[in-house]
Structure 1
Amino acid sequence: MNAENVMEVDETKIEPPYIRTPEDVKQIIEFARMDERNLTPVTQSFYFPSNNCSNERFRLLELNPHLLKTIRDGGIMSFKGGLHESAVLCTNEKTYEVKETEISNSLVLVPELKFAAQTSSSPLKSPRIGADSSMERINNKDDSDDDEVAIERVLEQKKILKIFYEYYECREIQPRFRKLNDLLLMTRFSGPENEYMIEKKLLFTFSQLLDTIQCSRKQFEEGLKKVRALIIDGFVRVLDCEYEFRIINLMMAVITENSWPLDGIEKDETIAALEGIAPKQIVEGIFNIYTHPVDSNPGKFQYKEELLARIIAVNILKPGLKFRVEEFMSDWQDALVEGYKVDQKYLQGIGIIDLESKPPCIRSLNEENLTTNLQDRIDLLFKIKTSWILEEIESYLEYFTTPTMNVSTLLAKYARSFVVDGVRRYVSKYK
């Protein structure tokens, strides 16, 4: 460096940082017209960080009782979110949306700050209180000095690590399962003969998906049950709908062939009957999902009527097709094993009954394929049907509910309602 460009600094002219002294504190107490005897002998002096000390590693997070208990109990908490996702905070049971919120009054972070009891000269004594007497002593200069006591003041320096102008608030939300379904559909299992078409790098293990999906572990396990996921060769997979329907039909045929009662299904015999037709792990996985043990008949199982009815309805209700209500209900019932009954409530989230069309019809409307934008979804729903009852529309709006906002509350904000023949119906807010 050229010596001519060097700037000499006179260190004697650099002012050191201001450090408060006990005399400064006494003077401030006097200016504030306070009686020093009413104060503890320890004074903590705060020092603000320099302008270039932002301490970005600190964040202020508001905790509700559940989150606080999780921390105190040594539980697991984790933030989740991809590149284009807003962050969520997950415990083992719940999921919280995390949003930054401004604070009306700034807050400071001061390590090892002492409170009043810690600054008292004796744990058995507390400072005398009474602002009136303090003011009296200062105003009445002619009073006797017998009551005056010299207080040896201790001055402690406290550095402010960060000043907060905002904090993160946590609001409990529904688990975000949409990404789970999207990821699993890319590698859906449609039979061993089609596995050569699956991109292996798109397969996910249980732990990889758990780290990716924005929900708690408990909710994640519930979500896997909801999409009827199986573990195949160590990876989480869902079945192609038509392939799953084909296996279910074969399992139903086993019931008929053996003349089993509905509450007397044999697991081992069902799996053995399909040996060579479908992989054992597939048949066993489907059996575990679609059945439950019969308490009154140990070792026997019974199929879940709703799951059977829904997989059949999905395969009948092809997108773009409409069915007359009577015809659909008849075909749907005929496809079920004798003894099981179809019910319109089993269509929730997969199909709708439109009594306003001429003639009345049933058509496909799968909730999993709808937009995740609330206003756009509501606009679409009222475009498909001009009026809904709560039971019809509920399954299409549950995605947006929270513990403090149910579907009825959402509809009160985004729709209008009226009562016809004792039944409340909802229509678009803008019609």
Structure 2
Amino acid sequence: GKESKQKPTRLKMAVDTRRETVQRKSPSEKVQSLFLNPAIRQFYQVRFPNSCFVTILISERNIHIRFDFCNFTEILVMEETGINGGAQAVINLGIGSSVPISYHSCFGPHEDLLLLEADNNLVSDIFNGRVTLRGLPDEDAVLCIKSKTYAIKFVGNSNSMFLIPPSICPGFLEDSHVSGSNDNGKVSVIKIAPGNMELVEVSPRLDKLKQLLLENPFGAGEVEAMMDDDDSDHNGKRDLALYTWRDLVNTIQASDEELRNGLQSVSAIEIDGYWRVVDENYLDMILRMLLHNCVLKDWSFDELDEEDVVSVLVADEFPSKLASHCLSVFGSKVNETDKWKLEPRLVCVHFARQILREEKMRLESFMEEWKKKIPEGMEGRFEMLEGEVLTEKIGIETRVYTFSVRSLPSTPAERFSVLFKHRPKWEWKDLEPYLRDLHVPRVSME
């Protein structure tokens, strides 16, 4: 274009001339060093008109360039060579020296180039294909590895960042080579990087997960349809907005590990290939039947055999998968065996929510009814309900009502907004239970 006809620009540069000595290696060794070099700081890839993909890796003191053609791959590592032109001329530039820089005949466009800055911990994941970009078209994309999520921020350059190929770059021979002249000191710019992308570790965005799964909880109606094997009911089920693992991966901005933890936190279960949350009323029916059988069969709450529990609940017409799910929601494994222990806090919190629902009760009345619901052999203490209920003074009375941490946003700013909108002033002992589950990278709760 017109820009390629500009006159060469002379540029004086002060550079650090210290360089590591790079030993010559075979092509296969070069490939290995290229992808395993822990000092790599930046990389980008772009396709040029001559069907060549170019990946540029910038480390602390070396520039690595990889050319991928249709039928072969050539690895070029900028080393101490006798070549004076191209990128090597800039690398070898001494303090107080200058070099002529001009625009290459292939200069521009620049919109197809993005520079990504990544720390050493991410380099291996990037070059081994263990990263994904996640987000819907109307969302800011995030980059995910196996266990972490990173926000992507573009930082523009106030100065021009030139991309200069080596003088022996296939497909980008200097004009001097084409014309037959021997100007080894010539340096040509083929691209200008407008800026670079930065990665900032962030918390997974799991609020949408709760919203999607709570739209269609799995309840008694679907269980009856499963038992009756009614095709029309199954057709109706397919009309519901249900989500497979792949659907959630493509929708939720979180790493795979964070997504699994999010599913566990909302007590989700995979049924017929779809991830569902079980309706609380139906889960209450299963729990009550389990506790009833514990009394009838004299089972200990601390050592429940999973096979026996599932067998009994199936006989009471509960699906076996949901019977096992009930144990995982209200209990914990005993030393990685098939034995389960019912956790008193989980059971007691469940019955407290069942009693309060959406209403406020006098504290004395609530405690009296709550103790009636708690199974014999378990002790319910009001401290168990931290993060689930709040109290307020109305005259001389103390009233209690539900205010669950599970219903709050997962981002700190939104959560604090909801908390202080609900109550303008908090005592730390009341506020702290609603902050425990907040995990912001590099930020402590204090």
**TM alignment of 1:285-300, pairs within 5 A:** 285-295=325-335, 299-300=338-339
Q: 2: CA distance between counterparts of 1:104 and 1:211?
A: 35
Q: Is the 8 A contact 1:312 1:332 kept in 2?
A: yes
Of 172, 180, 183, the match for 2:212: 183
Q: Which residue of 2 aligns with 1:351?
A: 389
Pair 358,239 (structure 1): closer, same or farther in 2 beyond 3 Å: farther
Deviation by residue 1:100-142 (Cα, 9 ceiling, x = unmatched): 333443433344489xxxxxxxxxxxxxxxxxxxxxxxxxxxx
Structure number with higher strand proportion:
2
Pair 46,52 (structure 1): closer, same or farther in 2 beyond 3 Å: closer
Pair 380,201 (structure 1): closer, same or farther in 2 beyond 3 Å: closer
Pair 112,92 (structure 1): closer, same or farther in 2 beyond 3 Å: farther
Q: Which residue of 2 aligns with 1:314?
A: 353
Deviation by residue 1:1-35 (Cα, 9 ceiling, x = unmatched): xxxxxxxxxxxxx9983686xxx98xx89xx9xxx
Q: 2: CA distance between counterparts of 1:345 and 1:162?
A: 62
Q: Which residue of 1 aligns with 2:184?
A: 154
1:53 aligns with 2:108: yes
Q: 2: CA distance between counterparts of 1:82 and 1:160?
A: 33
Q: 2: CA distance between counterparts of 1:98 and 1:396?
A: 29
Q: Which residue of 1 aligns with 2:224?
A: 193
Q: Which residue of 1 aligns with 2:63?
A: none
Between 1 and 2, higher relative CO (CA 8 Å, sep ≥ 6) is seen in 1
- How far does residue 403 in structure 1 lie from its aligned partner after superposition? 1.8
Q: Which residue of 2 aligns with 1:62?
A: 117
Secondary structure of the 2:113 match is: coil
Of 123, 131, 136, the match for 1:77: 131
Partner letter of residue 42 of structure 1? N
Q: Is the 8 A contact 1:110 1:158 kept in 2?
A: yes
Q: Which residue of 2 aligns with 1:336?
A: 374
What is the TM-score normalised by the length of structure 1?
0.68
Partner letter of residue 105 of structure 1? N
Pair 347,200 (structure 1): closer, same or farther in 2 beyond 3 Å: farther
Deviation by residue 1:295-351 (Cα, 9 ceiling, x = unmatched): 39x5422123333233223322312x1122333334334323233333445434432
**TM alignment of 1:97-176, pairs within 5 A:** 97-112=151-166, 154-164=184-194, 166-176=195-205
Deviation by residue 1:336-391 (Cα, 9 ceiling, x = unmatched): 32333334454344322335875222212234444677656434423433432345
Q: Is the 8 A contact 1:187 1:199 kept in 2?
A: no
Consecutive unaligned residues of structure 1, counting only runs of 5 or more, are 1-13, 33-39, 115-151, 409-431
- How far does residue 198 in structure 1 lie from its aligned partner after superposition? 4.0
Aligned length in residues: 340
Aligned residues: percent identity? Answer: 25
Deviation by residue 1:242-287 (Cα, 9 ceiling, x = unmatched): 1112111111212111112222212112111112421122112222
Partner letter of residue 107 of structure 1? M
Q: Which residue of 1 aligns with 2:423?
A: 385
Partner letter of residue 197 of structure 2? Y
1:284 aligns with 2:324: yes
**TM alignment of 1:264-279, pairs within 5 A:** 264-275=303-314, 276-279=316-319
Q: Is the 8 A contact 1:317 1:351 kept in 2?
A: no
Q: 2: CA distance between counterparts of 1:288 and 1:347?
A: 20
What is the TM-score normalised by the length of structure 2?
0.65
Q: Which residue of 2 aligns with 1:120?
A: none
Q: Is the 8 A contact 1:291 1:302 kept in 2?
A: yes
Worse-matched range after superposition: 383-392 or 242-251:
383-392
Bigger-Rg structure (1/2): 1
1:222 aligns with 2:277: no
Q: Which residue of 1 aligns with 2:5?
A: 17
Deviation by residue 1:43-76 (Cα, 9 ceiling, x = unmatched): 436444799933323222232343234225x251
Q: Is the 8 A contact 1:225 1:289 kept in 2?
A: no
1:262 aligns with 2:291: no
Pair 380,203 (structure 1): closer, same or farther in 2 beyond 3 Å: closer
RMSD: 3.6
Of 404, 419, 437, the match for 1:366: 404
- How far does residue 399 in structure 1 lie from its aligned partner after superposition? 7.2
Q: 2: CA distance between counterparts of 1:83 and 1:342?
A: 48
- How far does residue 392 in structure 1 lie from its aligned partner after superposition? 3.0
Secondary structure of the 2:354 match is: helix
Pair 299,281 (structure 1): closer, same or farther in 2 beyond 3 Å: closer
Of 84, 88, 100, the match for 1:42: 84
